[in-house]
Amino acid sequence: MHIHFGKNGILIIHRYVVRNLVAVDGLNYAGMIQGSIDRAYTTIEGKERFPHILDKAGSILYSMVRFHPFADGCKRTGLLTAYMYLYYNGYYLRIPQDSAKFLEQIASSKNFDEQNEKAVINWIREHSERNLATRIFNLIISFFVMLGLDIGAYTNELLKREAIPADIRKQFRDTELEKAIRHDK
């Protein structure tokens, strides 16, 4: 079963990024949060623009990075959203050492184009894998969603328990901002 990730889930992830990976809180374009999700589910003449889960995850990540809905932490929020979305849908996203650099290149590109979006989708495809454990987890979470599990609340609980890859915490902690916040207190 396909697990759909909503705006509430992204807001929960962003709150986590603000609190734990150090980012400035605030919204630039609230509508772009839902827009990033909707874009991944776009259909043109009855055909899905992003037919595969990996394509959808890449589109969401690209949209979060390029449309910059938050004042800060868009790349971190986008990456963690893609990670959680893929995890719920039976894939494991390996976070490579160069992910911050890669996402910074996408964010700083002057062009909003399909080439950059395809680069993000290919990056997601290259670093994602489906194995027995992720498939079993997808079956279990799908069962509970059918019984009424709120995926946003579940995401919040996972984040409270620090159930995310150490790579994300390590690579995307804004140490400069953290120093500035400590200095101000």
The CA–CA distances, whole Å, from 121 to 54, 71, 118 equal 7, 24, 5
Asked whether 168 and 79 are in contact (CB, 8 A), the reply is yes
**pLDDT tens figures, 58-83:** 999 999 999 899 988 899 899 999 99
pLDDT digits (tens, 9 = 90+) for 122-176: 999 999 999 999 999 999 999 999 999 999 999 999 888 887 766 666 666 656 5
At a CB cut-off of 8 Å and minimum separation 6, what does 136 contact?
none
Helix ranges, 127-174 (H) = 132-146, 151-160, 166-171
Residue (of 102, 12, 21, 93) closest to 57 by Cα position: 93
Place of tokens 């207190």: 185
User: pTM here?
Assistant: 0.89
**Predicted confidence band at 96 (pLDDT cuts at 50, 70, 90)?**
confident
Q: What is the mean pLDDT of residues 11-23?
A: 85
Six token digits for residue 46:
């009855």
Mean per-residue pLDDT over the chain, rounded? 87
State phi, psi for 27 to the nearest 5 degrees: -110, 140
**Banded pLDDT at 19 (limits 50, 70, 90):** confident
Q: Which domains does the chain have, with CATH numbers?
A: 7-184 (1.20.120.1870)
Greater pLDDT, 112 or 41 = 41
